[in-house]
Amino acid sequence: MQGREATTGMLLLLFATLFLSTCDGSCEREASPHTAASVMESALLSTGLKGAHKIQSHARFLHDLLISTNWTGLDHKAGRSLLDTSRHQLSKNSLVKAYNDLVQRGVVEADHSFSSLLIRKSCRSWSGVLVVTLFTAPGPFSCPMDCHYCPNEVDENDIGHKVDKIEVLVLGGTWSFYPEDYQKNFIRVLEFCESLVLDFQFKDIYYAANTLDDPPQERRLPLEIKEEQKINEGARYKVIGITLETRPDFITRAEIRRFRSYGCTRVQVGLQHTNDTILEIVNRKCTHAQGMKAIKLLKDNCFKVDIHLMPDLPGEIHLFDGTLFISHLGASPQIDREMLEKALFDPDMDADYYKIYPTTVTPFTKIAQWYHEGLYKPYADRNDGTELVELLIWFKQHIQEWKRINRIPRDIPNQSILGVLNKVVDLKEAVLVERTHFSSGGLETFISFETPNFETLLGFVRLRINGDSTSTIFPELLDAALIRELHVYGVLVPTYEDDNLIRPQHVGFGRRLMARAERLAWKAGKRKVAVISGVGVRQYYASLGYHLEGEGEYMVKYLNEHSVLNGFDDEPAFSHSTA
C-alpha cells in the first residue's frame, strides 16, 4: 500500500494495537493483522466493557475492516470517516498515544497524512506555531472585581499536535491579581497533566519543553527560571512566546517589568467596551481612558496587544428616587457600532489582535439575574440575532489588513468551513507590501509578503517608531526601532524535521522581512533595532546579528550602513500610508 491507502492500513494496525494492549500476558501484542480479529474479540471481552451486543458488533466491524475491505479504493476522506465512525470506545488521545508507541517501537513508519487525522482543532497550528492554552486556578486570587458578566468556570482539553514552536497562553483570570509568588510558581513550577498529549506531569513551562523527551525516571529537577530559559534557547521544543491576560488598569511599569522577566511577548487586555456608562453598569471598575493608556504603554515597550470587546452588554440606565435603578438594559447595535468604529479607526485604540465576545448569559452572574427578571434584554435575542450578525459582518468587512481577528466568537470546526482550506500558493510569486499608519503616539509599518492579488498573507513584521520616550521603561529600547512581531504563516513545520516540502516558514521570508524592517529603521534615523523575542527564538535572531541586552531581555542589533544597504534589497510592490 502507498500514500492514502497506506494511511488507512495504518489505522487498522493502530486499532489492533490498542485493543491488543488491553490483553493479559496470553495475548500477542504484535499479532498479524490478518489473524488479529479473534484475538481482539477476546481482548474486548477481557476489558469488562458493558453490553455484549456492543462488544460483538465492534469485534465484527473490526474483523470486516481487517479482512474484507478493499483498501486500494479508499482515499483520505474515507480514512477520516473510518476514524470518526470506528472509535466508539477510544478517545482520540488514546489513538495518538498508540500511534506514537507504534512509531517509537518501529512497528510502523511515521506518516504525516495519518497523523493529521488525529489532530483536534487542527487550525490551532495553521499559523505556524502550536498554541497551548493553560488556565490559572480559580478561587480567591483569580479576580475580585465581580464584573457582572463573568462566571467562574474553566474547561480543559487535550489536543494532538506536533510540538516544536510553542506559544503559551495563560488564561483563567486576571493575571495581575494573582500574588507574585503564585505568578512565579505558575511560570517556573506550573503543574499540569496530559498537556501536549503526554501522560505525565510537568512542572514548569520552560522545564516542560526542555525535558519533553526525557523518560520520567530520568527527568531532572527544575532549575531556576532564568536557567531554564537559557536551556530553552537551544531546546528541541521551543517556547516562542508567552501571552498573559489582564485588566487595563493593572498594566503598570512594574507589571511590564514582571511580564518581561517571564518571557511574555503578548498581552490580552480586557477592554470589553469603550462606553464608560456601560463599563459602570457591568461593574468593570475601569475606564476607556485607562484602556488607551494601557495599549500605548504596551506598544511603546514592544509588546503585541490583543484587546477583548463585548457587544450587547447591558447599556441603559435610569435613576429612580435618587437611587440607581435598572429599568431596562441592553446596549443598542448603534452603541456597539460606535465601539467597533473606535476600535478600528481611533489611533489610540489601534491593537494588533481582536477578540470579539458577544455577551452571553451564563449562570452565576449578575446579568443572568437581570435576564431572568426581564430587566436585561439583549438585542441578540431579537430577529434571530440578525442585528448582531450584521454588526459582526460590518466589523470583518472594515478591519484593516494589519489587524488580526483571533476570535468571533469561537473556534469553527473544519467541517463547518465551506471553501478551500489548503489553497496552493506559488511562493515565488509573493510580493512585498508596506502599510504605514499612526498608532498610540507612534508610527507603525506593517511589512508583509502576500500573493499578487493581496488575498493571501504569507508572513509579516510589525515595525514601530515611538513618538517619544515618556512610556519607554527599558533603557535598551531608547531611540530604537521596535520589532513587535515577526510571523510567517503555514502549517507548523518542526525545525528538527524535513518533510521535503516547500513551506513559507523555511524559504527565507522571515529574513527578508527583517532586512526590510532594518532598512526602513535606518531611513527613519534609527541606528539600532530591538525585538521582543520569545525565549525559544533568540538563536534565530542571533543568526541575524542580534544579541540579548538589558533588563527587559530584548534582542538588539546595532545598524551600520554597510549591513543595511548590502542586505536583501526587496522593494515593495505596493505601499500605502495613512500617516
Delimit the domains of the chain by residue range: 3-117, 123-246, 275-284+298-416, 427-577
Helix (H, G, I), strand (E, B) or coil at 299: helix
Q: Is the pLDDT of residue 486 over 50?
A: yes
| Burial class (CB within 10 angstroms; exposed 0-12, middle 13-18, buried 19+) of 88 | exposed
pLDDT score, position 427: 84
Q: What is the pLDDT of residues 56-86, one digit of tens each?
A: 343 343 334 334 444 345 555 665 565 565 5
Q: Which residues contact 280 (CB under 8 A, 6 or more apart)?
A: 317
pLDDT score, position 84: 60
Per-residue burial over 119-143, b = 16 or more CB atoms within 10 Å of its CB, e = otherwise: bebbebbebbbbbbbbebeeeeebb
Helix (H, G, I), strand (E, B) or coil at 329: strand
The amino acid sitting at 35 is: T
Task: Give the span between the Cα atoms of 233 and 281, in whole angstroms.
Answer: 46
Q: Find residue 268's DSSP bridge partners.
A: 245, 306
User: Can you say how many angstroms the Cα of residue 132 is from the centroid of all Cα atoms in its chain?
Assistant: 7
Report the DSSP pairing between strands 264-272 and 238-246. Answer: parallel
pLDDT range class, residue 168, cuts 50, 70, 90? confident
Q: What is the pLDDT of residues 417-444, one digit of tens each?
A: 444 344 567 888 899 999 999 999 999 9
Task: Give the span between the Cα atoms of 319 and 66, in whole angstroms.
Answer: 73
Q: What is the pLDDT of residues 381-412, one digit of tens each?
A: 888 899 999 999 999 999 999 999 988 864 44
pLDDT score, position 169: 81
pLDDT score, position 411: 43
For residues 516-531, average pLDDT = 97
Q: Is the pLDDT of residue 167 over 50?
A: yes
For residues 365-376, average pLDDT = 87
pLDDT score, position 520: 97
- 333 touches 379 (CB < 8 A): yes
Q: Is the pLDDT of residue 507 over 50?
A: yes
Helices within 132-193 (DSSP H only)? 180-189
For residues 446-471, average pLDDT = 95
Q: What grid cell was written down for 115?
A: 497523523
For residues 102-118, average pLDDT = 60
Helix (H) or strand (E) holding 435: strand 431-439
Task: Give the span between the Cα atoms of 444 and 210, in whole angstroms.
Answer: 35
Q: Is the pLDDT of residue 34 over 50?
A: no
Helix (H, G, I), strand (E, B) or coil at 82: helix
As separate numbers, helices (DSSP H) first and strands (DSSP E) second, the chain gives: 18, 19
For residues 181-208, average pLDDT = 46
Q: What is the widest separation between alpha-carbon atoms in the chain?
A: 84
Hey, how many other C-beta atoms are within 10 angstroms of the C-beta on 274? 23
pLDDT score, position 172: 54
Q: Is the pLDDT of residue 513 over 90?
A: yes
pLDDT score, position 353: 96
Q: Is the pLDDT of residue 321 over 50?
A: no
Task: Give the span between the Cα atoms of 345 and 397, in whole angstroms.
Answer: 13
Q: What grid cell was written down for 38?
A: 479473534
Task: Give the span between the Cα atoms of 263 and 491, in whole angstroms.
Answer: 24
> What is the CATH code for 427-577?
3.40.630.30
To the nearest whole number, what is the mean pLDDT of the chain?
73
Hey, how many other C-beta atoms are within 10 angstroms of the C-beta on 311? 27
pLDDT score, position 471: 96
Task: Give the span between the Cα atoms of 246 and 269, in whole angstroms.
Answer: 6
Q: What is the pLDDT of residues 279-307, one digit of tens each?
A: 998 899 999 999 999 999 999 999 999 99
pLDDT score, position 183: 52
Task: Give the span between the Cα atoms of 220 and 217, in whole angstroms.
Answer: 9
For residues 435-463, average pLDDT = 96
CA dihedral 434, 555, 352, 161 (to 10 degrees): 110
User: Can you say how many angstroms the Cα of residue 113 is from the centroid of all Cα atoms in its chain?
Assistant: 23
Model confidence pTM above 0.85: no
Q: Is the pLDDT of residue 335 over 70?
A: yes
Task: Give the span between the Cα atoms of 72 and 497, in whole angstroms.
Answer: 29
72 vs 308, residue with greater confidence: 308
Residue pointed to by grid coordinates 497524512: 113
Q: What is the pLDDT of residues 212-261, one digit of tens each?
A: 888 888 888 888 888 999 999 999 888 899 998 899 999 999 999 999 99
Q: Is the pLDDT of residue 44 over 70?
A: no
pLDDT score, position 255: 92
For residues 362-381, average pLDDT = 87
For residues 490-497, average pLDDT = 53
Q: Which residues contact 420 (CB under 8 A, 6 or more apart)?
A: none
Q: Which residues contact 342 (CB under 8 A, 6 or more apart)?
A: 274, 349
Which stretch of 300-304, 357-361, 459-463, 533-537 has the lowest confidence by average pLDDT? 357-361
Instruction: Tell me which long-range contacts 314-319 makes (C-beta under 8 A, separation of at least 24).
Output: 314/148, 314/278, 314/281, 314/282, 314/367, 314/370, 314/376, 315/275, 315/277, 315/278, 315/281, 317/277, 317/280, 317/281
pLDDT score, position 224: 84
pLDDT range class, residue 310, cuts 50, 70, 90? very high
Which of 273, 256, 14 lies closest to 149 in space, CA to CA? 273
**Strand ranges, E, within 279-399:** 304-309, 318-320, 323-325, 353-356
557 vs 562, residue with greater confidence: 557
